[in-house]
């Protein structure tokens, strides 16, 4: 299953200012500066947000809405196509189990790091925030909700929620990503079992996936603009005061994320005879996009592209493992974050935790990752952990103030892990194209995504 080394792309000859990575980094600097300016401007005389704050919020909101709009068709078509692609692998069953096993192994390592950091740094005892900030979250997670959520209420995984504000009711529709995942897997497996009768459906699904990916690449091209709005709004809304109140907590989260990304992952790569520097060089476009977009699913096309073209994972396997990882592989959101956050809340409210509680944290983190499925589902995972441990859900309100800032790092680690596991499994199974992996290439993933077939 070897692949030819791709020829140099035109992107390698482009001026640096047209490189997607440079554009995103520049947008982060601009967003940071505009956010500081908007915060210093303050509200207008009527107490309303100033024009710059409104502009930043609008830009960021529109970008996220565009990503959300493409999530349902992307998940369905990508998962169905990935299951269909397993037909082309001679050892498909072994690859599936190896993938799930390494998802669990890396999650286990990450959650143990989170627990150790929570006990050493003790963020819940070193905080300037008060209990007046504690409030229950609008949405919570429990094992019963998780199990019921696995059963689709309709084939689209569509849910309606109604909110009453000032005597008026407003209803919004949302897609349950977990239910979409279940529906997609069911359709994919059924299509394989149906055999020849399903060939037309699979061909249509492949064409639809190509169209959805093309539209998503157009949205991804807007990432520099969306970055200015998202990062600028975060700085404007939260500033340094709120961050400093939870400084030790934020530090513990980012130290944990850094240890997983820059210590655990390189050690695993070295253990499999792979150069960590090459992995990060290849995976950087996806990691960078994940950081600013805060969306594993929105980053999916980039992750899949770099996994195949920069890291040498065969297309048939990458097309299965990366979409699956984008919905269930969350070392940042489902391991580091809930572990440290649960210990923070326990310390803050003076609730002692014993060996049993720490084992439960590990159990929830390793097995409950699917509960975080979606664009930003870490709060659901946290409430699932808290409810399992019997800790006060009001503690979530203490942490929501800086959640977007933390979510950037969490999502970056999530996506790095989604590229890492297929690389390791492909290496272990002897199907990794090491000529591609070891070749230093200047690939602009944005251009590759526009030309690569779905």
Q: What is the pLDDT of residues 207-248, one digit of tens each?
A: 998 898 889 888 888 888 988 988 888 788 766 666 677 888
Say which residues have a Cβ less than 8 Å from residue 218's Cβ, sequence separation at least 6. Answer: none
CB-based burial of residue 200 (10 Å sphere; 0-12 exposed, 13-18 middle, 19+ buried)? exposed
How much is the pLDDT for 231?
82
Per-residue model confidence as pLDDT tens digits over 396-443 = 777 877 787 888 899 999 999 999 999 999 999 999 999 999 986 655
How much is the pLDDT for 58?
93
d(CA 378, CA 395): 14
- Greatest Cα pair distance, the chain, in angstroms, is 68
How much is the pLDDT for 267?
97
Better-predicted residue by pLDDT, 315 or 387: 315
Question: Is residue 303 a contact partner of residue 419, using CB atoms and an 8 Å limit?
Answer: yes
Band the pLDDT of 378: cuts 50, 70, 90: low
Band the pLDDT of 377: cuts 50, 70, 90: low
Q: How many CA atoms lie less than 13 Å away from 351 in the CB half-sphere?
A: 17
Looking at 244-253, 376-385, 441-450, which range is the least confident one?
441-450
Better-predicted residue by pLDDT, 409 or 389: 409
How much is the pLDDT for 268?
97
Which residue reads 């190509």 in tokens? 210
Q: Which of 187-196, 291-300, 385-394, 435-444 has the highest mean pLDDT?
A: 187-196
Strand partners of residue 174: 159
Per-residue model confidence as pLDDT tens digits over 6-42 = 444 444 456 666 677 778 888 888 988 998 899 888 8
How much is the pLDDT for 374?
45
pTM of the complete model: 0.80
pLDDT at 181 over 50: yes
Structure tokens at 64: 């996220």
How much is the pLDDT for 375?
47
How much is the pLDDT for 278?
95
Q: How far is CA 444 from CA 3, 171, 212, in A?
A: 19, 41, 20
């Amino acid at each position: 299953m070897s692949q030819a080394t791709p020829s140099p792309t035109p992107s390698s000859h482009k001026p640096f200012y047209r490189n997607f990575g440079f554009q995103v980094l520049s947008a982060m600097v601009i967003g940071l500066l505009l956010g500081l300016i908007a915060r210093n401007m303050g509200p207008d005389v009527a107490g309303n947000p100033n024009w710059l704050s409104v502009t930043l919020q609008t830009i960021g909101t529109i970008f996220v809405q565009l990503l959300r709009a493409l999530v349902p068709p992307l998940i369905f078509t990508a998962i169905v196509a990935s299951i269909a692609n397993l037909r082309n692998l001679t050892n498909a069953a072994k690859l599936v189990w190896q993938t799930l096993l390494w998802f669990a192994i890396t999650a286990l390592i990450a959650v143990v790091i989170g627990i150790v950091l929570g006990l050493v740094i003790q963020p819940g005892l070193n905080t300037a925030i008060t209990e007046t900030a504690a409030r229950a979250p609008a949405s919570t997670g429990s094992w019963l909700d998780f199990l019921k959520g696995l059963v689709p209420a309709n084939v689209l995984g569509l849910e309606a929620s109604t909110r009453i504000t000032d005597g008026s009711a407003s209803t919004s529709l949302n897609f349950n990503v977990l239910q979409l995942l279940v529906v997609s897997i069911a359709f994919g497996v059924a299509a394989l079992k149906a055999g020849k009768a399903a060939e037309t459906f699979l061909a249509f699904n492949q064409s639809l996936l190509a169209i959805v990916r093309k539209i998503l690449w157009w949205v991804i091209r807007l990432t520099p603009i969306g970055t200015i709005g998202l990062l600028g709004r975060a700085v404007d809304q939260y500033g340094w005061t709120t961050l400093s109140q939870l400084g030790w907590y934020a530090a513990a989260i980012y130290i944990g994320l850094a240890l997983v990304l820059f210590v655990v992952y390189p050690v695993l790569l070295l253990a499999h005879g792979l150069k960590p520097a090459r992995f990060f060089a290849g995976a950087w476009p996806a990691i960078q996009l994940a950081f600013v977009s805060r969306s594993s699913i929105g980053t999916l096309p980039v992750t899949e592209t770099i996994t195949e073209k920069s890291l040498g994972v065969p297309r048939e396997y990458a097309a299965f493992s990366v979409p699956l990882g984008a919905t269930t592989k969350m070392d940042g959101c489902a391991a580091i974050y809930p572990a440290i956050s649960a210990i923070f809340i326990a310390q803050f409210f003076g609730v002692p935790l014993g060996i049993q509680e720490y084992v439960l944290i590990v159990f929830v983190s390793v097995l409950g990752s699917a509960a975080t499925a979606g664009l930003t589902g870490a709060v659901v995972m946290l409430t699932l952990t808290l409810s399992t441990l019997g800790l006060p859900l009001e503690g979530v309100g203490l942490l929501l103030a800086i959640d977007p800032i933390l979510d950037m790092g969490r999502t970056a680690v999530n996506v790095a892990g989604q590229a890492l596991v297929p690389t390791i499994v492909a290496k272990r199974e002897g199907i990794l194209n090491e000529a591609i992996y070891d070749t230093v290439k200047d690939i602009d993933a944005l251009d590759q995504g526009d030309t690569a077939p779905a």
